[in-house]
Structures are given as structure tokens and as C-alpha cells.
Amino acid sequence: MLTDPAVRALVAAVNAGDREAFHGVLTPDATMSDDGSDRDLQQWTDREIFGAGGHMDIESESEDGRSLIVRFRNDTWGEMRTAWRFEVAENGRISRFETGQT
């Protein structure tokens, strides 16, 4: 059970392959980066998550629940150990996430 409700909802949406729930937990202007480079969120999630069977297995979370170490896998790249950091807006939705290999 992840501490932060928005992060918990995003992980559940990824693992269920639920694109609508995933976008529902994000702010309309949400942004993201992968390995330190800003990416187009829609294109990246289509390619890396929803079009490739993306799945997150949580190894650990920080005390605030907004930083995770994850074994992420998809049909394109296989499994890799990744770090994820989330910014959550006052409305409880994720406004930005950053991911990259550890």
C-alpha cells in the first residue's frame, strides 16, 4: 500500500492498463521527464506504458510516498530498475513525474 493516494492511483492505473484512470490522476497540464530529458507525456505513456504492457513492481518508497524505486517492465525494453519522483498539486493530482534508470 503506497502512502500518497495520487501515486497509489497512478501505479494502479499503470498496472491495470487503464489509460483513462491514469490521465484522471494527472493535472491537465502535467509534465514528465525520462532520464533527465523532458518528454511529451502523451507520446511517452503511449509508447512506454499503454502500448507496451507497462507494469510497475514497487521496491520501496520514500517517507512522503512521492519517490519510488520500481522494477518497471514493458514489452519493448524488458525489466529495469527505475526511480520515480512525483509532484502533487494542491488539488491532489499529479502535476509532474520524473523517471529514470537507477
Q: Where are the beta strands (DSSP E) in the chain?
A: 26-34, 37-39, 55-61, 67-74, 78-88, 94-101
Whose grid coordinates read 512522503? 64
3-state secondary structure of 90: coil
3-state secondary structure of 101: strand
Q: Where are the alpha helices (DSSP H) in the chain?
A: 5-16, 19-24, 41-45
Domains of the chain in sequence order: 5-101 (3.10.450.50)
Look at residue 19 and tell me whether its pLDDT is greater than 90. yes
Model confidence pLDDT, tens digit, residues 41-93: 999 999 999 999 999 999 999 989 999 999 999 999 999 999 999 999 999 99
Residue 50, CB half-sphere, CA atoms under 13 Å: how many?
A: 15
Give residue 63's pLDDT: 80
**Do 69 and 2 touch, CB atoms closer than 8 A?**
no
